[in-house]
């Protein structure tokens, strides 16, 4: 009997340590930016989507020269207040401040690795 009890304790300790490691990894991936920057363009769409984990997903059209084909920048917004400010600016030229978070598992945190944290209007 003591061997079974000791094995159960070791197994429980292993599970707890594994859960702590996973939680620490997720916390680091969500709070540490791989890169950060700003992109300017026209917000084409922003929608809240997902089956279980609802996230704000958007698309910014980057236009470098008039008449050139726009490049698209897909992004995720985690803050509802920022998403509301972006919705007010759809169709106008804006600059989005973002942080890139690599290594997040699944789509519950967002469909992209680019998380927008701020928006400001850009004068043409």
Mean pLDDT, each 10-residue run in order, the chain (124 residues): 83 93 86 89 92 91 76 94 94 93 80 94 82
- On whether both 101 and 50 belong to a single domain, the answer is yes
- On whether both 60 and 26 belong to a single domain, the answer is no
The domain in which residue 44 lies consists of 34-121
For residues 35 and 20, the answer to whether their CB atoms sit within 8 Å is no
> What pLDDT shows up at residue 1?
57
- On whether both 2 and 50 belong to a single domain, the answer is no
Per the document, the length of the chain is 124
Distances in Å between the Cα of 66 and the Cα atoms of 43, 120, 122 are 16, 21, 16
- On whether both 6 and 65 belong to a single domain, the answer is no
**How far is Cα 121 from Cα 107, in angstroms, rounded to an integer?**
29
- On whether both 26 and 76 belong to a single domain, the answer is no
- On whether both 17 and 42 belong to a single domain, the answer is no
Which structure tokens are listed for 50? 């997902």
């Amino acid at each position: 009997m003591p061997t079974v009890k000791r094995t159960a304790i070791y197994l429980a300790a292993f599970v707890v340590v594994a859960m702590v490691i996973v939680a620490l990894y997720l916390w680091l991936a969500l709070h540490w930016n791989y890169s950060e920057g700003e992109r300017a363009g026209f917000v084409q769409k922003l929608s809240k989507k997902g089956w279980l984990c609802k996230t704000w997903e958007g698309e910014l059209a980057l236009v470098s020269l008039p008449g050139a084909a726009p490049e698209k920048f897909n992004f995720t917004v985690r803050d509802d207040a920022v998403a509301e400010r972006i919705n007010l600016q759809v169709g106008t030229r804006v600059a989005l401040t973002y942080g890139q978070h690599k290594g997040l598992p699944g789509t519950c945190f967002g469909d992209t690795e680019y998380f927008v944290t701020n928006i400001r209007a850009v004068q043409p």
